[in-house]
Amino acid sequence: MQPKIHKTAVILDGAKIIGDVNISKNSSVFYNAVLRADRQKIIVGNFSNVQDNCIIHAEHNDVIIGDYVSIGHGAIIHGCKISDNCIIGMGAIIMEGAEIRENCIIGAGAIITENKIIPENSLVYGIPAKVIRELTKEEIEYIKENALIYVELAKKNKKIKLQPKF
């Protein structure tokens, strides 16, 4: 199966998109990220971003990433669902069968264990991850703002000429 990439999506140098992957409008995949859907599907919603060096793999379950989702540098997303309007912090790990509901911030380095469900509007940190508190209205609004910033960053980065290999 070949990836389906919307014409407004931005895929930056070094990113690898393999198999049954669908990347929706105004979404982006940054440098050296890997999206590997050789067993199940990966769907990236509208206005979402997968930042540098992330790994997304669909093994036993599809990976569904909603709209306005930011997946921070080096995160690992494995066979799980991330609903609309979420931030997954740098280096976080979301394991098989987990579900992150709408309007959540998962802190950097957090580990969401298998089949864990994170309720909507949650701030989550830790190993294993725990809900710390409910997000404020301002924090929820920031999640969407952050995703829109990355739409512009992707367009800007697309124009950058990389240094030649030595």
- Find the CATH number of the domain harbouring 154: 2.160.10.10
pLDDT > 90 fraction of the chain, expressed in percent and rounded? 93
Q: 97-150: per-residue pLDDT in tens?
A: 999 999 999 999 999 999 999 999 999 999 999 999 999 999 999 999 999 999
Q: Give the model's pLDDT for residue 164.
A: 66
Which structural domain, as residue segments, surrounds residue 126?
A: 4-158
**Dist. CA 39–CA 96, nearest whole Å:** 13
Total domain count, the chain: 1
Mean confidence (pLDDT) of the chain: 97
- Name which of 150, 144, 116 is nearest 130 in CA terms: 116
Q: Is residue 163 part of a domain?
A: no
* Residue 163 reports pLDDT greater than 70: no
- Name which of 112, 42, 106, 111 is nearest 79 in CA terms: 42
* Residue 84 reports pLDDT greater than 90: yes
Q: Is residue 84 part of a domain?
A: yes
